[in-house]
Amino acid sequence: MSVVALVPAAGRGERLGYGMPKALVPVNGVPLLTRAVQGLFASGQVQHVVIAAPPSDVDLVHNATASLAPAGGAVHVLSGGAERTDSVRLALEHALRVIPDTSIVLVHDAARAFTPPEVIADVVAAVRDGHDAVIPVLPVADTIKQVNEVGVVVSTPDRTGLRVVQTPQGFRAEILKAAYCSGIAATDDAGLVEKNGGTVHTVPGHAHAMKITTPFDLAVAEALFSGGQE
């Protein structure tokens, strides 16, 4: 049974200011997408990676990633959609059609290019242990305020039970398929499963799985990983 990772990478990445798709922005000379795919395969758990790329850059993404797959594995590249959820849906449909023995599906952000392989392996292991959906998380370090539409604080939630969510998020394939067929909207894939009646389990995340979205994030990553992924 195959573990397949879906990587929605069709975003244009305007906030990074590179004039190219965010997933192709380099960190110390290596594109985020390349690092993300390398990490997925380095976990020793992923056999296939399906990338939803910008429609105009499918060939470019294919050329940059095709050689990353280990023996017996493969990278699949297809045109992504207008929104992240569209890209995940297209990648999921491709995986279930082309890789019929898909049993576990991961959804991973290319922007979390330095997620340690051990975190990826922990997510897969938890799904294999019987959980329908699994997400890596970190405790919330800052005080959180809820504010109204005019910026006035209305409450201070207890952060003890709050967590920051990272990727990859892992699912039994049929659970994620059912969530996407439900017509429900959510801000992440685990949220879709949750709203569709599923239970989402957590495993410890890692600080290195930071999401690289702004020039500041990029500068931090370049400083942290100047000698390669740690």
Per-residue pLDDT of the chain (230 residues; tens, 9 = 90+): 899 999 999 877 666 766 778 888 999 999 999 999 999 999 999 999 999 999 999 999 999 899 999 998 999 999 999 999 999 999 999 999 999 999 999 999 999 999 999 999 999 999 999 999 999 999 999 999 999 999 999 999 999 999 999 999 999 999 999 999 998 989 999 999 999 999 999 999 999 999 998 899 999 999 998 865 44
Query: Is the separation of the CB atoms in 188 and 165 below 8 Å?
Result: yes
CA atoms of 110 and 100, how far apart (whole Å): 24
Exposed e or buried b for every residue in 19-56, given b needs 16+ CB within 10 A? ebbbbbbebeeebbbbbbbbbbbbbebbbbbbbbbbee
Terminal-to-terminal C-alpha distance of the chain:
30
At residue 11, the pLDDT reads 78
CA dist 224 and 230 (Å) reads 9
Confirm if 115 and 41 have CB atoms less than 8 A apart.
Answer: no
Q: Which amino acid, 91?
A: A
Residue type, 101: D
Sign of the CA dihedral running 20, 93, 85, 190? negative
- What 180-186 contacts at long range (C-beta under 8 Å, 24+ apart), as own/partner pairs, is 180/88, 180/89, 180/92, 185/85
CB atoms within 10 A of CB 165: 16
What is the pLDDT at residue 226? 80
* Cβ atoms of 189 and 108 closer than 8 Å: no
Residue 14 has a pLDDT of 63
